[in-house]
Amino acid sequence: MNVLDAKNMAPASQRPNLADAQDWWRGAVIYQIYPRSFRDSSGDGVGDLTGILNGLDYVATLGVDAVWLSPFFTSPMADFGYDVADYCGVDPIFGTLSDFDRIIEKAHRLGLKIIIDQVYSHTSDQHAWFSESRQNRTNPKADWYVWADPKADGSPPNNWQSVFGGGAWGWDSRRQQYFLHNFLRSQPDLNLHNRDVQDALLNVGRFWLDRGVDGFRLDALNFAMHDPQLRDNPPAPRDGHPLTRPFEYQLHIYNQSHPDIPKFLERIRLMTNEYDGIFTVAEVGGPEPLSEMKNFTANGTRLNSAYNFSFLYADKLSTTMTRSVVSDWNGEEGEGWPSWAFSNHDAPRAVSRWADEDHTARAAKLYAMLLMSLRGNAFLYQGEELGLPQAHVPFEALKDPEAIANWPSTLGRDGARTPLPWEDTAANAGFSSAKPWLPADPRHSALAINVQERDGQSTLHFVRKLIAIRKNATSIRNGECAFIEGVDDLLAFYRISKGEEALCVFNLGSKSLTWRPLSEQRFKRIIDIGFDTDDKGLPETLPVLSGYIALRQN
């Protein structure tokens, strides 16, 4: 058992013995909690760790395997926690380290794993490391961030652009140099080419692993290293799609995706291997993320899994896109394990992107069925199990800096971050007794947890059944995937494991389809959406936005 550290750290958590469950995460369903919007226990309008603690019983009833907590670390909240000022501290708005320890203890008692964010690309400009680094060019942390001299005319070192708009360089008058910020100006980029920086971040990981966390989601990972030569990015080819910000005008060859990132990931893997059953997953953005995802998860020496924004940013759910994205992970030797997310805190909710308002209830169930059918891990974002649509947030109530900067060109992220509705008749849908930090959408009250608990046909009950099916069917949890040639908007595939086979069929389009598989012997429908009959055979007609999962024992 660990001794207490300088932060009055509690003894290492009572993590269950996972010696026989190192791969618990393979095929897992992971529920994402956005702490600010999950549940407020203090009455200040912001969700907190005690609210999460009190809500874990509900999460456990879903049948998920793990919970991913978005940042709760000490932060000025310019980017709502992704600007970290202390990697090993809890921001007072969320609670204390003791509150976090109680979450770990209760989650493990309920059979839930806890995964937390690690933001290794950048910090807040209020982090002690940056405060020291900016003092001069000779201090011990002078090279912990990306600093560069101006050009002869005083302009920034190169043409790199920030994700959130404008140039990616900020001037610091003390050092008389520019610092790199791929995101907000208040989020200076760490210099991960520096071994001391890597060591410091690995110690951060150990701090949380010693407290009992079961894994990490690594934020903005392909931004973690830059080109030391600071070469200009070339312009991006124009494909006719409208561009909304300067960042999109470039190919990001030199400000991200450096070939040395995997070497750092191997150090992370060695560190996590010191503990039992730890799961690591990378967030990988960009228009062509596949090669990086494969590279970041290769050969069992780097991360366990990765996910991208193929579904998260898709304006339409299409058969072609789904087949293409999923087929890229075919289980070849040395390949990592994929993860999938349809919604999260960074993207408008899928049901609003992919379905019209008249069909959101049915579409929410269909999309959940598809997510739970895919080969890989499934990330379920809070409220997705309720079928919540994207909330309406007026401009004057926006908080997201990206949404404000790019309004009205994009939907922004605030509409996916509004409070989770717990009770339909309570103030602020039961989220808080005070005015919430983002307004609760009145439409969400009718979809509140207490309402759906009473309705056996609700999206909530449907998602619980889906998760139970996934957990009990080895073919769906971690079997192979084989797509079937279909017609129009038909998506059909087999999930195959030893002794069991599942047939997953979806009509993603706006018209009925006629289709049956070539072989339907001994298949029995175990769950479906869009059919009025109780017959468990395989239907010939697939109505609009319908689907089913059928199982066959070999």
Dihedral pair phi/psi, residue 77, rounded to 5°? 65, 30
The SS3 call for residue 429 is helix
Q: Is 356 assigned a catalytic role?
A: no
Q: Give the separation between CA 549 and CA 538, rounded to whole angstroms.
A: 10
Considering 274, 453, 455, 520, which one is annotated as catalytic? 274
According to DSSP, the residues that pair with 217 across neighbouring strands are: 117, 281
400 closest CA partner among 409, 410, 413, 390? 413
- Which residue, chain included where needed, has tokens 């900020």? 170
Is the CB of residue 120 less than 8 Å from the CB of residue 129? no
According to DSSP, the residues that pair with 250 across neighbouring strands are: 235
Question: Residue 207 is encoded by which pair of tokens?
Answer: 């701090």
Q: Give the separation between CA 551 and CA 524, rounded to whole angstroms.
A: 5
E strands, 147-292, are 147-148, 169-172, 177-180, 215-218, 279-283
Q: How many alpha carbons fall within 13 Å on the CB side of residue 439?
A: 11
Distances from the Cα of 438 to the Cα of 343, 516, 553, angstroms: 18, 47, 49
Considering 83, 86, 117, 219, which one is annotated as catalytic? 219
Query: What single string gives the DSSP state of each residue in 253-312?
Result: SSSS--TTHHHHHHHHHHHHTTSSS-EEEEE--SSS-HHHHHHHTGGGSS-SEEE-STTT
The type of residue at 399 is K
The SS3 call for residue 118 is strand
According to DSSP, the residues that pair with 171 across neighbouring strands are: 178
Q: Is 335 assigned a catalytic role?
A: no
Q: How many alpha carbons fall within 13 Å on the CB side of residue 54?
A: 14
Q: Prior bond to 408 cis, omega within 30?
A: yes
Distances from the Cα of 84 to the Cα of 73, 120, 143, 407, angstroms: 6, 10, 19, 25
According to DSSP, the residues that pair with 90 across neighbouring strands are: 73
Q: Which residues, 6 or more positions from 138, have their beta carbon under 8 angstroms from its beta carbon?
A: none
Catalogue the active-site residues.
219, 274
